[in-house]
Structure 1
Amino acid sequence: MGSKNEFVIRLPANFLSITMSRTMLMLELNRFTALGWQLNLAVAKELQGSPNGQ
């Protein structure tokens, strides 16, 4: 029965670490996406600013 208790104690710790790493990954992805949007907006403004220039 000792091994069963050990498993029950270890499972939440693993779940917590997985959840934390997943949350950090989502935050990094959101920040990266935000940077991408700013870059797209800057490029769009540049293209709108010079309609006849290429």
Structure 2
Amino acid sequence: MSHDKLRDRIQVWFVAFVLFIVVLAGIIIGRLVHQGALRSGINQITDSNSKGPAK
């Protein structure tokens, strides 16, 4: 009985941990976009794709 309760508690903590990592990654990516590093990189990729011949 207590084993099932422990498993549920571990599952809840695991979900909370995954959500925390997702939020943290979102904040980091948001900072990169805000700095313009990611945006300029995406612009370079789209520019090279539009200039190059379609494969």
Q: Please tell me the TM-score bracket, short chain as reference.
A: 0.5 to 0.7
TM-score (norm 1): 0.63
Whichever residue aligns with residue 14 of structure 1, its letter is: K
- By relative contact order (CA 8 Å, sep 6+), the higher-ranking structure is 2
Looking at CA atoms only, which structure, 1 or 2, has the larger radius of gyration?
1
Structure 1 residue runs without a partner (length 5+): 1-9, 50-54
Q: Distance in 2 between matches of 1:32 and 1:26?
A: 10
The alpha-carbon deviation at position 34 of structure 1 amounts to 0.6
Query: What percentage of aligned pairs have identical amino acids?
Result: 5
Structure 2 residue runs without a partner (length 5+): 41-55
The alpha-carbon deviation at position 14 of structure 1 amounts to 0.6
Aligned-residue RMSD, C-alpha: 1.7
Does residue 33 (structure 1) correspond to residue 30 (structure 2)? The answer is no
- The 5 Å alignment of 1:1-54 reads 10-45=1-36
How many pairs were matched up?
A: 38
Which runs of 4 or more aligned residues in structure 1 lie more than 4 Å from their structure 2 counterparts after TM superposition?
A: none
